[in-house]
Amino acid sequence: MDVWAHDVIILLQQKFGLNEPAAVNIMELHIQFHQAKQETIVIENPEGNQLHFESLPSLRKYSFGDIIEWPSLKKVTVNDCPNIIKFGLGRIKSLILENQPSLADIFESLDDEFSTIVEYEIGDTEELHKRMHNLGPSHFTNIVVFRAKNCDETLTKFIYILMKRSKKLQVIEIQHCETSGYLFDLLEPAFKGLKYLRGIKELKVIEVNQMVSLCSWDVAGYFDFKSLEIVHLESCHSIKVLFYSKSFSTMLCELKELKLEACEDLYEIFHYSPFNYSSLFFPRLSKVELKSLSKFMRLSRVALCSLF
């Protein structure tokens, strides 16, 4: 846990007289609930084809989910439900309302461009800030490919939102951007055991300033790059270490291509504790390019590192 969580645990012990295990349990539950609140929830009803609500005076919501998907829904009837509030019909909203316009004031539009988009590119800082300001609860839940260029440090926060919302994210390409130290970071308390970026397959980072590593040592355990196939870094002049051992398994079995160029401060790619004698093995790695790395010392300090 981070310093904030540790301070809360001490407060629970001192103010409420809880023992340490009880205080830790309460803190972990709080973090878990907070994480659930922040993440977009998708409710799927794959076979439902009709909705009929009648004489339900206390009904307010169908569910607490942010997005409701009804791929087979064809008919909706709502009678005498005075307290119902808006909830989504997902991607099929426009189809339903085309034949039943009277329901327009009940069902919220969640099928806009940014809710269904799978590939998105941000061109500059102005566009990034505009998208952050107008971010809806269902936006980018289906994103697969994300590209950004000419953006300021806000990009780290935007990527954090993407990796929380979409489990489908596979490709990240960043060019000519700024960071506050890390490209991937946890900006809120996270529950122990959560893993982000498990599905990421391709990572290309070119001319990103002030980035000393992809993520910091203390949060590396929340990232899992075991599906990574292609890594390409170029002209990232501040980066010192690429990966910390907590962010990948001992076998990066999917890694196929590793290209690092003109990263002057980079001295190590896979950083382990000096007391860690695990081995690294890359069974699918077929291409390695290391160019213009003036401070580069080693791939890793582990006892055995087998590239092929």
Q: What are the pLDDT digits (tens) for 11-51?
A: 788 877 888 888 888 877 776 665 554 455 556 666 777 87
Supply the pLDDT for residue 109. 44
Supply the pLDDT for residue 274. 57
Q: How far apart are CA 113 and CA 142, in angstroms?
A: 11
Residue 292 and residue 259 in contact, taking contact as beta carbons nearer than 8 Å: no
* CB-CB neighbours of 1 under 10 Å: 15
Residue 257 and residue 231 in contact, taking contact as beta carbons nearer than 8 Å: yes
Which phi and psi (to 5°) does residue 203 adopt? -130, 115
Supply the pLDDT for residue 235. 97
What band does 243 get if pLDDT is binned at 50, 70 and 90? confident
Q: How far apart are CA 65 and CA 80, in angstroms?
A: 23
Supply the pLDDT for residue 106. 54
Continuous H helices in 72-181 = 93-99, 113-116, 125-133, 154-165
Nearest residue to 252 (alpha-carbon basis) of 222, 279, 215: 279
* CB-CB neighbours of 70 under 10 Å: 24
Supply the pLDDT for residue 38. 47
Helices (H) and strands (E) in the chain, counts: 6, 18
Portion of the chain with pLDDT greater than 90, in percent: 35
Instruction: Tokens for 179, please give them.
Output: 């960071």
Supply the pLDDT for residue 33. 61
Q: Which residue is it, tokens 């107008």?
A: 134
Residue 203 and residue 236 in contact, taking contact as beta carbons nearer than 8 Å: no
> Is residue 184 predicted with pLDDT exceeding 90?
yes
What band does 260 get if pLDDT is binned at 50, 70 and 90? very high
> Is residue 219 predicted with pLDDT exceeding 70?
yes
